[in-house]
Structure 1
Amino acid sequence: MSSDRLFIPSRETDLGDLSVRRVLPYAARRMVGPFIFFDHMGPAEFHDGQAMDVRPHPHINLATVTYLFEGSIQHRDSLGSDQIIEPGAINWMTAGKGIVHSERTPANERQHDTHLHGIQLWVAMPEELEECEPSFIHYPKTDLPEFETNGVRMKLLLGTALGKKSPVLVHSDMFYLEVPIMKGQSFPFPVEAREAAVYTVAGKVQVDDLEVPQYSMLTSVDLKDFTVTALEDSHIMILGGKHLGPRHIFWNFVSSSKERIEEAKLAWANGPQNGNPRFTPIVGDDHEFIPLPNPIQK
């Protein structure tokens, strides 16, 4: 990461019982490869009936990726999916032409103190796939390859990197890795002519000659290989890939087409409904929804 590097501090947002640190999109760097959204959730503690309750809401023309370090989330969507998301697993939801989903603390976790810690990403879709049929696929943690580089243990969550390939079905060239690294350890990372970013979940690392402290990201579009060194015991995520071109964002909608986002706004104006061409209700979670913000944008 010798040139064209940008340091991005996370911006903390209080969502009631859950604190979220937003990193992407950022004013000076909207995307890294196909990744257009990066939220670090928690670490949070829930007590005395507290819980995460993200009501049904819509997406179009993107894929969401939820990965937990601790805790659990019940994912439901308008396809009929009902999946408990647990630490170490990858949950890939392709919104395509339109999907509705909710994310809540599971019922059996609400009776006692719980913790939640993880990251949610949005991935832009290639233009020719933006309006594909929606889908949801859960990949258990045992499916994801773990390996060592220079004695550093890491897990490949998405795409290809370091000669390994994740089994997760993705739609463009990308990489996403989880790396716990001990103080003094170091490893080279071959970018392979792709954009890249390093985010520090905990601890402090050095990427080439720049420090990346906790809750911050260093991004680069110079397509150069780099070396990571741990300045203390740390936990980092590495992500990036081929850039897909600019995307427009309004709220939960991402698309290469402004007109399509306007269509999605109209389709969500009264929430999910049977017969809606984009957004139908979630069976078992259809008593409320998040209304369209106006003019608030993410």
Structure 2
Amino acid sequence: MTKMSIKFSPIAEAKKAELGAQFSAHRLDLDALTGFSAPIMGFDHFRASGPTFAPHPHAGFSAVSYLFEDSTGGLRNRDSLGHDLVIEPGAMVWTQAAHGVVHDEHPAVNGEEVHGLQLFVNLSRSHKNLPPRVIHASADQVPTVVTGQGARVRILTGCFNEIEGPIAPVEPFTFLDVTLSASFTYSVPNGQNVLIYVLSGALTLSAFSEQRSLTAHQAIAARSLSQPEDVHLVPDQDAHVLILSGFDPQEPVAVYGPFIMNDQAGLQAAYSRYVEGKMGKLPPL
């Protein structure tokens, strides 16, 4: 008898929240995924039409901004390293904040709605104090694979069907944007957690005898326990999903505002670097 070597979390909801008149987000309740979401520490499926956040610091993790292809407008991204660019629909900026960086983002054109995802991905202790790094992939740099079953897969990071995404963070992470019209199979790498989020539509997910049904703005996470395992996704008509997978650092986590470290001493050191200007400066526009 074959023993199941994959375990599922409960299903989590991304509940809508509004911040002013120009920003709303479906914020995923990662706690409901009972630890299976690591290294993901924040997940906002957002829409924005105007400036919302002032320049702010990050340290100890990566802040990832991805614009969906149906976004009307682009997202301007600035940081204290000197970058000033526009993330166009279908593109990504991976800000590996690590030792610390100051950045801000807002719609490139006021009033043009931006539809995207902001993801916070934790870094392990050994990489939290690396120099900050910003990686940009334009939409035309993102490879797209159409499977024999008709799934369309955009590969932002990691590997699918032996094709590598254009962004290579310091720690392995897979980010796939998948449009389904028929069944699709994803093999969860050994020892990794995978988070599957439904942007639109509905689907049934299964592995071995386990089966779950998900609709828009719901997510489930799974962990491969001892070997790579296949997860099968069957859409009800069409579905648009994100598949995100990475390794849980399995280390203590301490969070204070925009800093994710391993302990209070790490948080205090990050805060001191920020107030002393060691993360650089970024004047508001």
Q: TM-score, normalised by structure 1?
A: 0.83
1:250/1:161 CA distance change after superposition, 3 Å: farther
* 1:4 counterpart residue number: 8
The amino acid that maps onto 2:268 is: E
Structure 2 residue matching 1:233: 3-state secondary structure: strand
Structure 1 residue matching 2:55: 3-state secondary structure: strand
1:231 aligned onto 2:236: yes
The amino acid that maps onto 2:221 is: T
- Number of aligned residue pairs: give it: 267
Shift of 1:33: 4.4
- What is the CA–CA distance in structure 2 between the aligned matches of 1:28 and 1:133, rounded to whole Å? 31
| Maintained 8 Å contact 1:198/1:219 | yes
CA deviation profile, 1:62-89 (whole Å, cap 9, x unmatched): 1111111112111111111101111111
Shift of 1:30: 4.6
Shift of 1:6: 2.0
RMSD over aligned CA atoms reads: 2.1
- What is the CA–CA distance in structure 2 between the aligned matches of 1:68 and 1:38, rounded to whole Å? 14
| Maintained 8 Å contact 2:186/2:232 | yes
- What is the CA–CA distance in structure 2 between the aligned matches of 1:206 and 1:7, rounded to whole Å? 12
1:191 aligned onto 2:188: yes
The amino acid that maps onto 2:165 is: S
Structure 2 residue matching 1:54: 3-state secondary structure: coil
| Maintained 8 Å contact 2:12/2:30 | no
CA deviation profile, 1:218-239 (whole Å, cap 9, x unmatched): 1112453210111132211001
- What is the CA–CA distance in structure 2 between the aligned matches of 1:52 and 1:74, rounded to whole Å? 10
Q: 2:91 aligns with which of 71, 89, 92?
A: 89
| Maintained 8 Å contact 2:9/2:33 | no
1:78 aligned onto 2:80: yes
Shift of 1:24: 5.1
Unaligned runs of 5+ in 2: none
CA deviation profile, 1:85-114 (whole Å, cap 9, x unmatched): 1111121111121111011122xx22xx42
Alignment of 1:110-129 (within 5 A): 110=110, 113-129=111-127
1:24/1:166 CA distance change after superposition, 3 Å: farther
Unaligned runs of 5+ in 1: 288-298
Structure 2 residue matching 1:245: 3-state secondary structure: coil
* 1:29 counterpart residue number: 34
| Maintained 8 Å contact 1:160/1:174 | no
1:54/1:80 CA distance change after superposition, 3 Å: same
* 2:267 counterpart residue number: 261
| Maintained 8 Å contact 2:151/2:180 | yes
1:164/1:248 CA distance change after superposition, 3 Å: farther
- What is the CA–CA distance in structure 2 between the aligned matches of 1:152 and 1:27, rounded to whole Å? 29
- Share of identical aligned residues, percent? 25
| Maintained 8 Å contact 2:261/2:267 | yes
* 1:294 counterpart residue number: none
| Maintained 8 Å contact 2:150/2:180 | no
Structure 1 residue matching 2:280: 3-state secondary structure: coil
Structure 1 residue matching 2:46: 3-state secondary structure: strand
| Maintained 8 Å contact 2:6/2:223 | no
Alignment of 1:155-174 (within 5 A): 155-174=154-173
Structure 1 residue matching 2:54: 3-state secondary structure: strand
CA deviation profile, 1:141-194 (whole Å, cap 9, x unmatched): 121221122221111111123332212121122211001112xx1011111222
Alignment of 1:1-298 (within 5 A): 3-16=7-20, 17-23=22-28, 25-26=30-31, 28-30=33-35, 32-42=37-47, 46=49, 51-69=50-68, 70=71, 71-106=73-108, 109-110=109-110, 113-149=111-147, 150-182=149-181, 185-193=182-190, 194-208=192-206, 209-223=211-225, 224-246=229-251, 247-268=253-274, 276-277=277-278, 279-282=279-282, 285-286=283-284
1:12/1:103 CA distance change after superposition, 3 Å: same
Q: TM-score, normalised by structure 2?
A: 0.86
The amino acid that maps onto 1:281 is: K
Deviation above 4 Å: which 4+ runs of structure 1? Answer: none
